[in-house]
Amino acid sequence: MKNIAIFASGSGSNAENIIRYFDAHPLIRIDSVWSNKKDAFVLERSTRLGVEAHSFSRADLTESNILLTELKRRNIDLIVLAGFLWLVPKTLVQNFKIVNIHPALLPAYGGKGMFGDHVHQAVIAAKEVVSGITIHLIDEEYDKGEVLLQAKCPVLPDDTPGTLAARIHQLEYEHFPVVIEKYVMDNLLSK
């Protein structure tokens, strides 16, 4: 059995979709959900779905080994970032495989400040006609790890960040769990 820890900062609709997808999976289980915000809705969603949920502080993440030690103790094989807004410190990058989802077609609209609605606002302001999602590994340069999948959707003339975000979320729900599953099956099962 391979163990996944999900990191998320917000509502957690992707986290929920991933938890539901792997429910009763024979080889992959969602061990726990972790948030940098104590009141993030993702914690409530996960608990309701029967998955352990915890929050942590910036100091826990960057100034101590608490999180690293706990994730190792739990035999975590993969960390999935599903709307996680902080930079992941090197210690975690060096110790775990980490997959992230970005709501645009990297390398465009990535990097500092490019998260959530800021991304969709920038895409609309640039009058792009296509946007999409990028699912990628995290290496020490945040948005620059190996791309596992990109999928596209149209940007419509009357889109707002909200309508574009909704279309992007549909793509995320369709692809993210499948890409995670494939990554684990292809790369982690033999270890």
The residues that touch ligand GRF, with contacts defined as CB under 6 A, are: 8, 10-14, 82-83, 101, 103, 115-116, 168-169, 172
Nearer to ligand GRF, 20 or 27 (CB): 20
Task: Write down how long the chain is.
Answer: 191
Task: Provide the token pair at 12.
Answer: 């957690």
Query: Is the sign of the CA dihedral 149, 137, 179, 56 positive or negative?
Result: negative
Least distance from ligand GRF to the Cβ atom of residue 176, Å: 8
Provide the minimum distance between the beta carbon of 64 and ligand GRF in the complex, in angstroms, as a whole number: 26
List, in sequence order, every beta strand (DSSP E) within the chain.
Answer: 2-7, 28-35, 52-55, 76-81, 97-102, 130-137, 147-154
> Shortest Cβ distance from residue 112 to ligand GRF (Å)?
14
Pick 114 or 184: Cβ nearer ligand GRF: 114
- DSSP assignment letter at 10: S
Residue by residue, DSSP assigns 128-161 as -SEEEEEEEE--SSGGGSPEEEEEEEE--TT--H
Residue closer to ligand GRF, measured from CB, 8 or 190: 8
Q: Which is nearer to ligand GRF, 77 or 172 (CB)?
A: 172
For residue 12, count other CB atoms closer than 10 A to its CB.
25
Residue type, 83: G
Among 102, 120, 136, 175, the active-site one is 102
Least distance to ligand GRF, CB of residue 62, Å: 20
Residue least distant from ligand GRF (Cβ): 83
Q: Going by C-beta distance under 8 Å and a sequence separation of 6 or more, which residues neighbour residue 19?
A: 6, 30, 33, 46, 49, 51
118 catalytic? Reply is: no
Catalytic residues: 102
